[in-house]
Chains A and B, each alone.
Chain A
């Protein structure tokens, strides 16, 4: 069964801001699903609709078999929501934050106390549990945010940009933490991010969202393979690139070869098979090779290919 089903959601904010323009995707039980997109793509709006905080103008969303509009309270019971903006109470301790959240979610007594203890442990906050949250570092606060979303053992968790605002070191630590949590708690996760690396590392499947709609959806690998082939770059010993390009372009499996001074670039169907063939053909042609690199296309390339826009440029332009 699908844990989350989203069909053609549309939402226009006041003043005619079109946030969602027909978003559709489905998340299977037990998987980590990513929504990847630049600022303003509509990721948070989608998550807020799924968290029953706001409603869509059109379309349907079902979480764990319950419609978010019809059955909002039932949905609230099974979801954990970690908002993009931290929602911790700064004037309370970490333990108090978790305990109150547990109570609100209907947990009580020793079971709640054990759960809070367990989460503090898993989030590496035990030592800071009784300090006021306003003394926490950014990474600690974010981990507490995640704990608040998990305290009632939700079936589905939404993580809205869990690492935005963290420094690179804290981000990498958070990735490891999240990977562990997903395993230990056997979570179904909807994760939004605008880091390609993060999507690649954490998600089983992902949808690229741009301007309020899903542009393409699949596993990170499948998306990358959907770009035809790999890129092979050969650095030559001498300026014989023109001749080399001629030789390589004639090989089977090479779709395109271009030369510029000492560098030859080729697009090939399968990098692993093509490289030995390219090398032996060049050797046979008497052309010396300095280095060879093979690169799988990145999600950047995927984004560029499906939206016709450069991801980083888009992201910066809208911030």
Chain B
């Protein structure tokens, strides 16, 4: 099942080109636009790239995973899902292969982004384990939002409505996190709200690996939350899939 997803992607050269160019554009744009923001108090580093990279890694992963429900809808419209469902293939595999695909894309984007940031002078201070944490955070946040996206897709069963939902939540979730800005600079009520935002969990974990001192127990805590979130949204998506089956 996963092989099918992989082949489909490799056949889209433009998709691959965008995959590579997008992080470059993001990094350069954001780091130029917000270059002087680090002069504000609250930032512990004086390089905005150093601060921004974890946030961008997470944003890239979470945005693209949010659209992943689209694939399921395509399979639904084209009768591919129905064909799979008349076989004994595990219902779980149908959902999980889609989620895994998103995680893999998230990891690839993360690798590219951190590589570019590295070339621009940003450093993963926590070493090899830090890289692993970064990639893991990207994989987990992708999985959380792939689950959410599939749940929405299977419930509303319309591409337009899925677009509306994702556009509605994507930016607010970014701003209710420390992706672009230090926690101290956020209004208190937003700081508070951010604690319930999976995007922020991922950013917090990722940022530890690039800060001057790495707090491994904090990383463990945030990653733990993300694992729990992934499991919860995967279950939610599986549940949505079951009720989708009942309406056939």
Q: Which residues of chain A have a CB within 8 Å of any CB of chain B? A: 14, 48, 51-54, 73, 76-77, 79, 81, 83, 85-92, 96, 100-101, 104-106, 132, 148
Cα(A105)–Cα(B83), bound, Å:
11
Q: In the complex, are the beta carbons of B86 and A89 less than 8 A apart?
A: no
Which one of B27-35, B58-66, B74-82, B171-179 is at the A interface?
B74-82
Residues in chain A near residue B246, CB distance under 8 A: 54
Q: Which residues of chain B have a CB within 8 Å of any CB of chain A? A: 1, 3-4, 7-8, 11, 78-80, 82-89, 245-248
Q: In the complex, are the beta carbons of A148 and B248 less than 8 A apart?
A: no
Instruction: Add 5 more A-B contacts to A53-B82, A76-B87, A87-B79 (CB < 8 A).
Output: A54-B246, A85-B79, A90-B78, A92-B7, A148-B83
Set A53, A54, A89, A96: member contacting B80, Cβ < 8 A: A89
Q: In the complex, are the beta carbons of A89 and B88 less than 8 A apart?
A: no
Known: A92-B4, A92-B7, A100-B4. A83 touches B82 (CB 8 A): yes
Residues in chain B near residue A105, CB distance under 8 A: 87-88
A47's closest neighbor in chain B, by CB?
Answer: B86
Residues in chain B near residue A48, CB distance under 8 A: 248
Q: In the complex, are the beta carbons of A76 and B83 less than 8 A apart?
A: no
B4's closest neighbor in chain A, by CB?
Answer: A100
Known: A90-B78, A91-B8, A92-B4. A81 touches B83 (CB 8 A): yes
Q: How far is the CB of B78 from chain A (nearest CB, A)?
A: 7
Cα(A53)–Cα(B248), bound, Å:
7
A-B contact pairs, 18 of them (CB 8 A): A53-B82, A53-B85, A53-B86, A76-B86, A77-B88, A79-B86, A81-B86, A83-B79, A85-B79, A85-B82, A86-B78, A87-B80, A89-B80, A90-B78, A91-B11, A100-B4, A104-B84, A104-B87
Residues in chain B near residue A91, CB distance under 8 A: 8, 11
Residues in chain A near residue B78, CB distance under 8 A: 86-90
Q: How far is the CB of A50 from chain B (nearest CB, A)?
A: 10
Q: In the complex, are the beta carbons of B88 and A106 less than 8 A apart?
A: yes
Residues in chain A near residue B245, CB distance under 8 A: 53
Q: How far is the CB of A286 from chain B (nearest CB, A)?
A: 67
Residues in chain B near residue A87, CB distance under 8 A: 78-80, 82-83
Q: Please list the 6 inter-chain residue pairs (A to B) with the smallest Cβ-Cβ separation, ordered nearest first.
A: A87-B83, A87-B79, A81-B86, A76-B88, A85-B79, A104-B89
Residues in chain B near residue A92, CB distance under 8 A: 4, 7-8
Q: In the complex, are the beta carbons of B88 and A86 less than 8 A apart?
A: no
Q: How far is the CB of B72 from chain A (nearest CB, A)?
A: 13
Cα(A79)–Cα(B88), bound, Å:
10
Q: How far is the CB of B121 from chain A (nearest CB, A)?
A: 40
Cα(A105)–Cα(B88), bound, Å:
7
Cα(A171)–Cα(B88), bound, Å:
31
Q: How far is the CB of A69 from chain B (nearest CB, A)?
A: 13
Set A51, A85, A100: member contacting B86, Cβ < 8 A: A51
